[in-house]
């Protein structure tokens, strides 16, 4: 039995199989401008305004602005975020919308009751708003503590190291989302404020048993989390037979990205490799995917739960019942629609074909040398 390495952002897919578990949370927190992702907020007069640098107004308001500035006070609420003009969108009053080049032609919006917190940290704008549908919503890139909460359920975990670049994220989560951030109180947790990539590169080879990377989308600085050098660093930090679970986008929006992720992982991780997906209502398209890989060593069966739940939905090795996860959900996560299965399996077939061709060339070379 061994260890686990973990990194978080928006959705959670936890693998806990080993007895001695050291978990490393790599929490990526990027500013809205760095992600090339715009968070637009238009509020009715009942919603308190926030400090501003960029005003976001409806087209009608822009037309009326000349000579009529006073009449427009309170209609458009500016948000303290650096946003390129080509990303600014018109939205109806009282709604928060996120627009990104990762999902062109779409926007994810929430009805807003009031803004609870807004402040700019060294790395990003952090906003907490009261949503009429979801309650409190944290508008950040990660660091809420959700994965930590799930990992800390397991008594077999001996040590959890969390690397978070933005201390404000942790503080805000503790203040506004105590049920989510409860894991920070666990005595097994060590919080490291700093760059997660540097932390990962500094750990000795074979330090962790599992790494969970729940990253931002692959644009801006987060793009490196989807490229070979990062996966190589992850593989180096894992013990033989160690496991990585990394955010792998939506099959409805990003098959071209998924294809590249699969190709990179097949080249680097020599153990088991699988793609899985689950529902996340707050992510565009409503689903998010995961790459699950293991390093060369003891075989890992991702498709079947290591510790199935009992009939009451309880986990024999975890504290408290689970609200969403069960054995059927686990198995179903690996069932792919035909179009996605074709792309992912085709990459695997291509990899096997390339290996066979290389082996054939080597054999021909050896035979010719003997002759």
CATH number for the 37-139 domain, one of 3.40.50.10470, 2.30.140.10, 2.20.25.90, 2.60.40.10? 2.30.140.10
Per-residue pLDDT tens for 60-97? Answer: 334 334 444 333 333 333 333 334 433 333 445 678 77
CATH superfamily of this structure's domain 21-30+141-335? Vaccinia Virus protein VP39 (3.40.50.150)
Question: 310 falls in which pLDDT band (50, 70, 90)?
Answer: low
- Residue among 161, 214, 217, 347 flagged as catalytic: 214
Nearest to 97 by CA among 120, 77, 117, 116: 77
Under DSSP, the state recorded for 107 is -
Residues of the chain with CATH 2.30.140.10: 37-139
Cβ neighbours of 122 (radius 10 Å): 9
Active site residue 214: yes
Q: What is the pTM of this model?
A: 0.65
Residues of the chain with CATH 3.40.50.150: 21-30+141-335
Is the pLDDT score of 301 beyond 90? yes
- The HSE-up count of residue 269 (CA atoms within 13 Å, CB side) is 34
CA distances from 322 to 9, 215, 243, 309 (A): 20, 24, 23, 9
Strand locations in 178-313 (E): 189-193, 208-213, 238-247, 273-279, 287-294
Under DSSP, the state recorded for 50 is -
Question: 362 falls in which pLDDT band (50, 70, 90)?
Answer: low
Structure tokens at 204: 């000795």
CB 172, CB 156: distance < 8 Å = no
Strand locations in 140-203 (E): 157-164, 189-193
Question: H-helix or E-strand containing 199?
Answer: helix 196-202
Per-residue pLDDT tens for 160-171? Answer: 777 777 889 899
């Amino acid at each position: 039995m061994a260890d686990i390495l973990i990194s978080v952002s928006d959705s959670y897919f936890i693998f806990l199989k080993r007895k001695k578990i050291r978990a490393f949370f790599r929490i990526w927190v990027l500013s809205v401008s760095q992600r090339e992702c715009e968070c637009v907020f238009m509020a009715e007069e009942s919603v308190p305004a926030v400090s501003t640098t960029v005003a976001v107004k409806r087209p009608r308001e822009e037309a009326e602005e000349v000579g009529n500035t006073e009449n427009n006070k309170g209609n458009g609420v500016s948000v303290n975020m650096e946003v390129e003009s080509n990303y600014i969108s018109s939205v109806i009053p009282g709604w928060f919308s996120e627009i990104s080049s990762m999902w062109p032609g779409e926007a994810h919006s929430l009805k807003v009751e009031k803004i609870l917190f807004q402040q700019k940290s060294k790395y990003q704008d952090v906003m907490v708003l009261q949503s009429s549908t979801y309650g409190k919503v944290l508008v950040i890139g990660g660091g809420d503590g959700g994965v930590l909460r799930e990992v800390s359920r397991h008594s077999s975990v001996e040590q959890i190291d969390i690397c978070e670049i933005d201390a404000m994220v942790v503080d805000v989560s503790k203040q506004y989302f105590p049920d989510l951030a409860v894991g920070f109180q666990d005595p097994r947790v060590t919080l490291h404020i700093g760059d997660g990539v540097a932390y990962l590169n500094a750990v000795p080879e074979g330090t962790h048993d599992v790494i969970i990377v729940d990253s931002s989308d692959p644009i801006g600085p987060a793009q490196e989390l989807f490229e070979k050098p990062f996966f190589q660093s992850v593989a180096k930090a894992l013990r033989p037979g160690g496991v990585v679970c990394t955010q792998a986008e939506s099959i409805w929006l990003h098959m071209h990205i998924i294809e590249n992720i699969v190709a990179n992982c097949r080249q680097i991780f020599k153990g088991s490799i699988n793609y899985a997906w689950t529902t996340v209502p707050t992510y565009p398209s409503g689903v998010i995917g995961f790459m699950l890989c293991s390093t060369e060593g003891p075989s890992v069966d991702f498709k079947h739960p290591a510790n199935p739940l009992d009939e009451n939905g309880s986990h024999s090795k975890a504290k408290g019942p689970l609200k969403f996860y069960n054995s059927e959900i686990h198995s179903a996560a690996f069932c792919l629609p035909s179009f996605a299965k074709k792309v992912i399996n085709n990459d695997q077939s291509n990899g096997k074909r390339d290996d066979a061709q290389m082996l054939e060339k080597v054999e021909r070379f050896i035979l010719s040398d003997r002759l």
